[in-house]
Amino acid sequence: MIDKRNTPGMRRIAVTLDAFDLSLAALEQAARLARRMGAQLEGIFIEDIDLLQLAEMPFLREVRKSSRSVEAMNPVRMEQEFRVLARRAERLLGEQATRHHVSWSFRIWRGSIDTDLLDAAMEVDVLALSRLGSALTRGHPALPGLNAIAVLYGDSEPAVRALETAAGMAAEVHAGLNVLLPAAGKTDTAALRQAVVTQLGEQAGMAQFIPMPDASLASLVEALADTGSAALILQRDHELLQTPSLRQCLNSLNCPLLVVR
């Protein structure tokens, strides 16, 4: 049986903070997880270098909300806006950390989401990702009535840690647990399901098992569509997180993604 109060070996939990689409729900979720794990909470404010490079192109225009005027994109002004938004993100992170009684830190990271982000956070135990680069591309809005934690399970040690994290989160907030089982056939699905039941022990009764034909992004999005999942837990080395699919993965999901090392 998984101990929902303390999963050993987890000491740092990081949450990405998008400059233009900061998710308060993702912040609170990460703070709750840090409290349960006895971990430090780290906020990583994302300065998307791809967006900054776009701002340097002379033919691009932006519509200012305050005046509704159309102006050329200004890299200097964007840098200033980043500073203002970073201070706001740091304040909100501190409020959530204080509310949930966890220690916290904050840093600003600049780079490419697709090629650099996961490597920049390799040292953390859990990385909470929400939609990033929202000014460039937006995913679908989050669904209402979220009441479960989802985990994509597989036959590997990192996948086992992902299941432990998901089960602990679900137990703490009294939510359901959706276990996604990507397998080629009924025999493989049954074997994965039995492995999950064995690992969860007494908590197996809280799990709902959802078979998938494969572990592709399209199958994942389809499987999650009607589950009401508040978050998806995935191991760090999963193929969906390998570039250049990271941004596509984040913007296709209707819920935050928690990456477990």
Q: Supply the mean pLDDT for the chain.
A: 79
Write out pLDDT tens, residues 226-244.
787 888 899 888 888 775 6
| Statement: residue 79 has pLDDT above 70 | yes
The token pair at 178 is: 């959706």
Confidence of residue 194 (pLDDT cuts 50, 70, 90): very high
C-alpha 246/C-alpha 252 separation (Å) is: 10
Section 184-205 average pLDDT: 86
User: Largest Cα–Cα distance of the chain, in whole Å?
Assistant: 61
Q: Greater confidence, 154 or 108?
A: 108
Cβ contacts of 200 within 8 Å, gap of 6 or more: 1, 2, 163, 167, 206, 207
Of 104, 98, 110, give the one whose Cα is nearest residue 19.
110
- Indicate the pLDDT class of residue 153, thresholds 50, 70 and 90: very high
State both tokens at 80.
């200033």
pLDDT of residue 6: 44
Cβ atoms of residues 260 and 165 within 8 Å: yes
Average pLDDT for 94-105: 95
Return the pLDDT at 244.
Answer: 61
Does the pLDDT value for residue 258 go beyond 50? yes
The reported pLDDT for the residue numbered 86 is: 93
In the DSSP assignment, the letter for residue 75 is: H
What are the percentages of helix, strand and coil residues in the chain, rounded to 5? 40, 25, 35
Are the beta carbons of 212 and 181 closer than 8 angstroms?
yes
**Can the peptide bond before residue 244 be classed as cis, meaning omega within 30 degrees of 0?**
yes
| Position 130 pLDDT exceeds 70 | no
Q: For position 40, what pLDDT does the model report?
A: 93
Q: What is the pLDDT of residues 24-46, one digit of tens each?
A: 877 888 898 888 878 999 999 98
Percent of the chain topping pLDDT 70: 79
Q: Please report which confidence band the pLDDT of residue 139 belongs to, taking 50, 70 and 90 as the band edges.
A: very low
Q: Which residue has the higher pLDDT, 95 or 243?
A: 95
The per-residue pLDDT for range 196-233, each reduced to its tens digit, is 999 999 888 889 999 998 888 888 888 888 787 888 89
